[in-house]
Structure 1
């Protein structure tokens, strides 16, 4: 049976961030994820998780200067020391939130001619980060992201993700399989799930093309949820979508899997 984590960076924006934990629990979610926790003390977030009986399923390493368009620094030359500090910061939050899974954003590739050198750096940084995470019992993820939402993003296809994971060679480096991004870039989602579930430790969903609720758009998610069950997927499914209106009004799709609030 699928277990769903509400993405609090996108959902329940009707209330302030720290109040979204209670809103997610009231709506029936047992887990949450978000992009970045770093504007809030870890203790405050941990208290909300405990108060509402929620599991922190995932969050991202610090991505560089997000407000200026940076989308990760793992592949950026000259930022190695900053990246190591970002890993330390994320692991400190992971300990406080009892979160066992972190996502590392790759960064932007300004010139395709630089890909070879950037990939070597990316692999080296990921190897160090994965080893630091392993010491804490944490799984590190890489995620292919579509070029429509983030033009120039370094990692775009699931096969690229597998190649990077194999090059790094650390057992706790896995794939974040975002079915929204995969549909935009590659389609054929059922076959991609079958081909890449062996390395996937977290899945995310949203409707395509508008990134609204998963019951809106071109993807048959009930079919894919059944497929994931048949294949034995045990991880979280993160609901990383932008509600069309009030979050609760768009949760009809979630009713079959809702826990008692």
Structure 2
């Protein structure tokens, strides 16, 4: 079996680093993009065959930088088989606070717009290949229903889910498969600040192992772990009145700008 060529954003820690380790263990050639160049280099140094991987320090909000990294990786690897738009940020937001609007904008730009900007430079290369490529978007169970105190994050992940669904239909004729993976609670720096219980919390390496199976199968949509998939299905069908009673007083993720000026 020919080793895969895999490009991952948000690869310096958390889910991205776990996915990189799983793919490297299978012999894949990796292109890893994240803002923290030193962390990327340190990660690559721990991987099998470090000389065949490439680090691309960049902010996913810089679309020109993503395109440059994509072209460099395509030239290095001779093509691409899997692109994982994993980069994402999370913070509590409250619309009543004017100072939360830049945080809201950053979350949308990083989680949604950058997903499209990550996929765009690779589609032509995938069309030219004989083997079907995979474009993988990372959604979240938080995108199923809007959660109080996390309006920006919930909105961004709902957008990723819908965007990937649209993209799946657009590129199907090219034999490119779009895979949407919605994690539940995974033990990463993003969730470690949550001041509330997290049911079915999963280690990132365990998540990555399951994610690779989903990606390899070309599944269109999966929730990991499966228990959160059951929760997601229940959330989809709950009437608004029931959902509102259950979640109106749910604890909030800490706001990035907490302690700033009064609401407008």
TM-score between the two structures when normalised by the length of structure 1: 0.39
Greater C-alpha Rg: 2
Relative to its length, the structure with more helix (as a share) is 2
TM-score between the two structures when normalised by the length of structure 2: 0.38
